[in-house]
Copies of this chain bind each other. A is one copy, B any other.
Amino acid sequence: MAETRWLDEREQRAWRSLMTMQDGLAEFTERQLRNRCGLSGADYQVLAHLSEAAGGRLRSFELGELLRWEKSRLSQHLGRMQGRGLVTRERCRTDQRGAVVVITGRGSELIEAAAPQHVADVRAALIDHLTAAELETLATIGDKVRDRLAALGRDGLSVAAVDGAVAGGGQLERDDGAPADHAG
């Protein structure tokens, strides 16, 4: 039976820090976008990608790849954005494989108004407070995770199986019998 390698203190601190940062940044940027522009973070991402594409147009599957969203999630979200007049969808004349998503005038206005404030939020919460070395390390870590997740996706779900090991509580750090003050 494989012994579970719980996270040590340093590993636990890094993992918890990343999780808390994720939650905090998402909550902050979502709230700012919603209060000031009436956009969700997902709306923002869609409009940003479209506004950067030639002619404000992208094939549906291309947009899905840029966002890394599942097809059903993309389709549902675009339906809602179309209902709000932010995008339209056209059938592609030269290819039967999917629709073309086009940003509307209203969508363009919203993203152009939102973008300067969003970048200011990103600077205020994160970017302006990191050193050049920290920026570089963050990008390096992101690259490693991307490569690992791609490999894990290829290998299926079996990678993290731990044969029959049922131990400890929910904590990820070493289980020394004492209640821990943080969770995984």
Interface residues of A (CB under 8 A from B): 4-7, 10-11, 13-18, 20-26, 28, 31-32, 35-36, 44-45, 47-54, 66, 68, 111-127, 129-130, 132-146, 148-149, 152, 157, 159-162, 165-172, 179-184
User: Which chain B residues lie closer than 8 Å to A5 at the CB level?
Assistant: 119-120, 123
A159 → chain B, closest Cβ, in Å? 5
A148 closest partner in B (C-beta): B125
A22 cross-chain contacts in B, Cβ below 8 A: 22, 26
Whether B49 pairs with A183 at a CB distance below 8 angstroms is: yes
Name the B residues within 8 Å of A121 (CB-CB).
159-160
Q: Which residues of B contact A125 (CB under 8 A)?
A: 145, 148-149, 152
Given contact pairs A53-B179, A149-B28, A7 touches B115 in the complex (Cβ within 8 A) = no
Contact of A157 with B36 at beta-carbon distance under 8 Å, contacts A51-B171, A52-B169, A119-B172 already known: yes
Count of this chain's copies in the oligomeric assembly: 2
The verdict on A119 contacting B184 (CB below 8 Å), with A15-B126, A17-B139, A145-B21 known, is: yes
Give the Cβ gap from A109 to chain B, nearest Cβ, in Å. Answer: 9
User: Per DSSP, are chain A's interface residues mostly helix, strand or loop, or mixed?
Assistant: helix
Nearest-CB residue, chain B, relative to A141: B134
Q: Which residues of B contact A142 (CB under 8 A)?
A: 14, 16-18, 20-21
Could you tell me if A179 and B52 are in contact, using CB atoms closer than 8 angstroms? yes
The reply to whether A120 and B161 form a contact with Cβ atoms under 8 Å apart is: yes
Q: Are B184 and A145 in contact (CB under 8 A)?
A: no
Cross-chain contact B170 with A111 (CB below 8 angstroms): yes
Bound Cα distance A140, B184 (Å): 18
